[in-house]
Amino acid sequence: MENSIKSQVQQQFAKHAGKYVTSIRHAKGEDLSLLVSLSKADANMEVLDIATGGGHVANALAPLVRRVTAYDLTAEMLTTAAEFIRGNGHSNVEFVEGDAEQLPFHDTSFDLVTCRIAAHHFPNIPAFAAEAFRVVKPGGKLLLIDNVAPEDDRFDEFYNQIEKQRDPSHVRAWKKSEWIHLLESAGFRIEMVVCSPKPFQFHDWCERSGLPEEKITLLETKMLQVSEELQNFFSIQTDESGGLSSFTGESVYFQAIRPA
């Protein structure tokens, strides 16, 4: 089952690699600036960016650190990220293909491990957390950003349903409480949790995953027909014609340290 999911992830991102480099949400999100500013990156650091995607975290940290390893499951994403990063003049980034749940790196190899807007595609998040802990140095940090599901089970179910309907490679967005429990169980100490509302423009959100027009219509109808409680919680907004224009989810930045 896990291999099937990972194959689906590879197919999805191989087809749409370029969109994730140019996506304003991925390239210029406030969460990216937050991660860089809180990283305390310095010129001696070795950084691992897991599931680098379009390479935006690696690109932002490259001028600040000694070396970045940009790591991703999908070869096409790495090729696109490399063109983007090298095109910006950064020569200290290495590109490695592989699985977030089975890292091919020695223990305690990195000062920082980062992962941004990707973990909801991982079928075995506990394995990812354990591997991130293994490869980060004592005193080093994991900087993790992802979309999260609400704590209420009903809202959690709805959010993950629409994400899966939009993108079949979506596995599950976790709740904040689940992330905190997992990271502490893996051995990390949580230093900081920053929660931010995350507005989605509906059609941009659908088109980025390559959703066909007829499926966009089905998803739009589903979201417009949910209860008033769900519409209010997710701030589901319509345009002048009554079509779905936007809704709001949540993104969380977790900063966790491996105790020295």
* 136 close to 258: Cβ distance less than 8 angstroms: yes
Distance (Å, rounded) from C-alpha 219 to C-alpha 249? Answer: 16
Position 13 pLDDT exceeds 80: no
On average, the pLDDT of the chain sits at 92
Confidence of residue 23 (pLDDT cuts 50, 70, 90): low
Per the model's pLDDT, the better-predicted residue between 14 and 123 turns out to be 123
What is the arithmetic mean of pLDDT over 226-239? 97
Contacts of 102 (CB under 8 A, 6+ apart): 127, 131
- Residues β-bridged to residue 252: 146, 195
Alpha helices (runs of H) in the chain, residue ranges in sequence order: 2-15, 17-22, 24-28, 30-38, 56-61, 75-87, 125-135, 153-166, 176-186, 202-208, 213-224, 228-233
Q: What is the pLDDT of residue 219?
A: 98
Instruction: State the number of CA atoms in the 13 A half-sphere of 22 facing the CB.
Output: 7
| Lowest model confidence (mean pLDDT) among 2-16, 52-66, 154-168 | 2-16
Angle at 134 between CA 130 and CA 139, to 5 degrees: 115
Contacts of 99 (CB under 8 A, 6+ apart): 6, 73
